[in-house]
Structure 1
């Protein structure tokens, strides 16, 4: 149900920009780094409770890792901290480095393991997003993908406003949020409407990291 790679990238930048405005004190859930690595960009979500996802945009396409810490598919449910069977075995060579990326791994004291209950990937020539050959546990949303990526799948101003109301306890104007989701250049006036307490200098630095267009 994820949209195209291009749409996922734009939404990831937009969510990061909105969070940087709404929560300039560093409590943002969504982040984006256009300088993640040589030829790579990085979008992420972390709710502060152990649940997170990472999206690496590369020349080949995009690799998505999600981790629902309460999922029965968590490597913490296995004595050897192994990922769920089928989760990463068929990840193509183009994304092999992401499977062992230290930033996506936890440590059991003797070594690192991939903290993932979801792995999805798509090369630019693929017709759709790909997953491994997985036998899922018989429970609702067994890997956490439904709720982890709900905002990306919805991608509407109403969805972001609902998230912001729940997480930051703020009420936002859907029209203002829609301008950001449409990737319109941020103006000081728009920023003040969203959050009049935002420090414009600090926001400019954050937007430069995100790669979001803005007017000084």
Structure 2
């Protein structure tokens, strides 16, 4: 799945935001070491924006910025031939072509740039007026890494996260607890301890607020 297929598979922006928030909460509960969590969600990215972030610890990452004008996404596969580090620190041809002006601030955000060049092998967006996700006319896009980077977002099912987490954390998990979080239902002590017996809801209050997850 390249970005061309990704923009056809991605669900509506509201679903992408919901799943992104759920992924951050699930990783928060399952992993006490914030340095090794894959998924984060910052409900206070700016005064008007939220951001979903993924870092896998192996050099791959993505960012989704939810702004009043829509959603802008970057993905970076460090082994992809589309990487700017493999191309003289230049964006891959077509990667940034057609980015709407309303997303130029997100496109050029220093948080996602190295020496003024986007740290990206994948780029896509959807304005508030769009009826579909879009990407640029990227050349030879098959190896951009979109498949592995965005599979959980594109899939959107709790069962997909179950498969990922049981392999990543090497634990057996209760899919009903994951469904509870995917539905953005307020966390309970039972749901938290079902996912991780070492975690307590009271210890997660501040982090949950930063994610913007609903509280009872």
TM range (shorter): over 0.9
Q: Is the 8 A contact 2:192 2:200 kept in 1?
A: no
Inter-partner Cα distance in structure 2 for 1:55 and 1:116: 12
Q: C-alpha distance in 2, partners of 1:203/1:163?
A: 22
* 1:50 and 2:51 are equivalent in the alignment: no
Higher helix share: 2
**Secondary structure of the equivalent of 2:140?**
coil
Q: Distance in 2 between matches of 1:58 and 1:214?
A: 23
Task: Provide Cα deviations, 1:82-123, integer angstroms capped at 9, x if missing partner.
Answer: 0101111210011001121111012xxxx3321000000001
Which residue of 94, 100, 103 corresponds with 2:102?
A: 94
Residue in structure 1 matched with residue 185 of structure 2 by the alignment: 184
Classify the secondary structure of the residue corresponding to 2:173.
coil
* Relative contact order higher in (CA < 8 Å, ≥ 6 apart): 2
Give 1:196 deviation, angstroms: 1.4
How far apart are residue 158 of structure 1 and its match?
A: 1.6
Partner of 2:201: 200
Give the whole-Å Cα distance in 2 for the aligned partners of 1:184 and 1:112.
40
The alignment of Structure 1 onto Structure 2 pairs a total of residues equal to 207
Deviant stretches of 4+, over 4 Å: none
TM-score, normalising length: structure 2: 0.92
> Cα RMSD between the aligned structures?
1.2
Alignment correspondent of 2:132: 128
**Unaligned stretches of 5+ residues in structure 1:** none
Residue 202 of structure 1 deviates from its aligned partner by 3.2
Query: Which ranges in structure 2 are unaligned for 5 or more consecutive residues?
Result: 1-8
Per-residue deviation at 1:38? 1.6
- The TM-score with structure 1 as length reference comes to 0.92
